[in-house]
Structure 1
Amino acid sequence: MRDNLLIGYVVMDVLFVTTGALLIIFALMTEAEMAKELTAETVVQDLLLAMCPLNAAIGNAVLVFITFLLSVPAIVMPGTRGWLKVHGYMTVVCALFTMILGLSIWFETLETRKNLSNIWNKQKPEVQSLLQVQLNCCGYMNSTSPPFVVDATCPNGLVAAARVGCVSPYSTIANNFLDRIFTGAFGIVGIDVALVLATAMLLKDRKEKQRYRAIDEKNSGGGF
């Protein structure tokens, strides 16, 4: 007889481990991208990616994989509940871990200008020039605060004064980018919660089956 609850649990478990794979792929691809030389086309994205907690994302992915492995005994041994409970608790831990990551990125969006100012000030003039070229701006707040970097986009003070500071276009891009990141993190939490619910339903089903089995065994024994 087909166990629909078990099938639903397995489907959610596969989706769960897929989120772990996506996390580690994102982190490794980001690290590889950041290792490349900065260009005008990639400088904005690379500096924003550097704001993401990549090591924590890798740690979260590893925890997801370990949690998935704990579900294997629960799947291959239909009568067990112990492994299922452990897997459920570990899934909750993964959900909390991912939620903390998402919240940390969300908090970044609340202080975008401050954080981007720190990033700008840490960059060499060459990188600041790449940002000016890509965003068609001069200086951070404006052409004089801090002073702009002389390049093709900002060749002199007169041209620089006519352009906006980089903070406005940079903040817009940063907020849109980080919004997608933390929304993705909260989406993963949603899958974790769905798996926890599937685990709880399967636990209840197995508990009832064990109770009925015990009743049947008692009744069978009483007939002798």
Structure 2
Amino acid sequence: MVSKKLMGFWAFFDICLLAGGVISIVFSFIYRKTDILLNLTISKADLTAALVLGVMLCFTFLFSIGAVVQKNHITIGLVILNYILIVDAIAVLSVGTFIWFFSLRQRNEFHVLYLELPQSSRQFIQDKFSCCGYFNGSDAVEPSNFCTPSQIAFTNSLDPTDVNNAANFCVGKVTAFTDYTLNQMFSSCYGFMPIILGLLLFSLCVINKRKEDERFKKIDAKRGGKGFV
């Protein structure tokens, strides 16, 4: 018989898998709110990926319940579960790696996105961070409460290659926000991997133990129903 301790570990990782799926789905809806910096950092494709991952993990949890309640000699459900977990792991690893790789090039990546923002959004960012222009004083600068004509003229006169002038341009302050957010995203995504791999490992243990129990039952039956001495 499969030990209660083994099944306890299996159940713990299974519940964690459900929690991860729910968190991913909730994240995909909460972060659809209107927020200029958040919308700049997290695209609709990212939110869709989070929703898909969440649904996959929740489906895996539901399938696992059906697989584990089968009789001992029926292990095909758990075998299929392991294949599903491998697919989940590949999906999580792919999404997490994509976000991580994007975060390595965010200064240039977000420059393109920054240029696509409407004028009002760039004005909001300039006023929030007290900066003018993205890479330099003339790069996508907009007149705003902070960026007055005199401030724009001053910022435009600064050397963008001088690190002492970096605080006057928006690139550093924008990417400081996006870097934190992206790090949280791919770290959370990679955080699903130990759960998936843990459940995979304990599912293999449960399969092995059930097969072992069934083998001993057959041996016992051949001995006339008597146990081993």
TM-score for both structures, normalised by structure 1: 0.88
Deviation at 1:61, TM superposition (A): 1.5
**2:68/2:77 contact within 8 Å kept:** no
Equivalent residue of 1:200, what SS? Answer: helix
The separation in 2 between residues aligned to 1:52 and 1:106, in whole angstroms, is 15
Give the counterpart letter for 1:131 in structure 2: I
Alignment of 1:1-224 (within 5 A): 3-31=4-32, 33=33, 36=34, 42-50=35-43, 53-79=46-72, 80-146=74-140, 148-156=141-149, 157-161=152-156, 164-220=168-224
Q: Deviations over 1:55-86 (max 9, x none)?
A: 12211211112211211123322412111111
Runs of at least 5 residues in structure 1 that lack an aligned partner in the other structure = 37-41
Segment of structure 1 superposing worse, 59-68 or 183-192: 59-68
Deviation at 1:207, TM superposition (A): 1.2
Equivalent residue of 1:150, what SS? Answer: coil
The separation in 2 between residues aligned to 1:107 and 1:51, in whole angstroms, is 18
The separation in 1 between residues aligned to 2:139 and 2:8, in whole angstroms, is 61
**2:17/2:58 contact within 8 Å kept:** no
Q: Give the CA RMSD over aligned residues.
A: 1.9
Q: Deviations over 1:154-211 (max 9, x none)?
A: 0113344466211111112211211111011111111111111111111111111111
The separation in 2 between residues aligned to 1:140 and 1:56, in whole angstroms, is 29
The separation in 2 between residues aligned to 1:182 and 1:26, in whole angstroms, is 13
The separation in 1 between residues aligned to 2:123 and 2:71, in whole angstroms, is 62
Q: How many residues align?
A: 213
**1:20/1:60 contact within 8 Å kept:** yes
The separation in 1 between residues aligned to 2:43 and 2:84, in whole angstroms, is 29
Deviation at 1:49, TM superposition (A): 2.1
Deviation at 1:145, TM superposition (A): 2.3
